[in-house]
A and B are shown apart, each in its own frame.
Chain A
């Protein structure tokens, strides 16, 4: 089965701790993305990567970090510097140059920080 997997589905952390969210895809897509979704809100772009070992900040990158060491993987770290980390985090991927903008999403990770 081809697709995007995110783990874990639910994540609970104490304030002040860094936490890393996993995203893996086997679609052979070049580009990967991280979004944040708050209740009743649309999606806001955190980071994206078009190619291995390269990534760009999105609209709300502060307090987050990413890496892209493999084409299949794009983990997101939510650092203690992120002021409101509790949210639903979505990973997506696309064919970078020929995809026409189509992005495909994983099932999401719901992060709760107390």
Chain B
């Protein structure tokens, strides 16, 4: 079993839909949680960052962390075709972050 599990998709939604992307993990020591967006043939871009449990909102994006369930989510409201990308979750147990553990990524397609 992988340390971080992420549904590979692809996930196809119509423009304007609310999108929910999720990761589960097994290591209870993880306390720093990130979401990266990666467009095709580009490097990942840090989208959201959360420390410990709770919610964080940034524009149309909301990140949620439930450490008791070892489950993190990224919600995208009013999805746009420009949101079409692969979304990678990543997490770390230490502040230095030298050992980030990534999920395999979920490919999202938002259709106009």
User: How many residue pairs at the A-B interface have CB separations less than 8 Å?
Assistant: 76
At the interface with chain A, which of B13-21, B44-52, B54-62, B72-80? B44-52
**Chain B neighbourhood of A103, CB < 8 A:** 46, 90, 97, 100
Chain A 10-46: CB-based contact to B (< 8 A → 1; otherwise 0): 0000000000000000000001010000001111010
The listed residue (B4, B46, B88, B103) touching A102 by CB distance below 8 A is B46
Q: In the bound complex, do residue B34 and residue A101 qualify as a contact, i.e. CB atoms below 8 Å apart?
A: yes
How many of B's residues come within 8 Å of A, CB to CB?
Answer: 29
The listed residue (B43, B46, B95) touching A108 by CB distance below 8 A is B43
Chain A 90-114: CB-based contact to B (< 8 A → 1; otherwise 0): 1000101111111111111010000
Q: In the bound complex, do residue A101 and residue B97 qualify as a contact, i.e. CB atoms below 8 Å apart?
A: yes
Q: In the bound complex, do residue A45 and residue B99 qualify as a contact, i.e. CB atoms below 8 Å apart?
A: yes
* Any A CB within 8 A of the CB of B29: no
Residues on B facing A (Cβ under 8 Å):
4, 6, 8, 32, 34, 36, 41-46, 49, 51, 88, 90-92, 94-100, 102-105
Residues on A facing B (Cβ under 8 Å):
4, 6, 31, 33, 40-43, 45, 48, 50, 56, 88, 90, 94, 96-108, 110
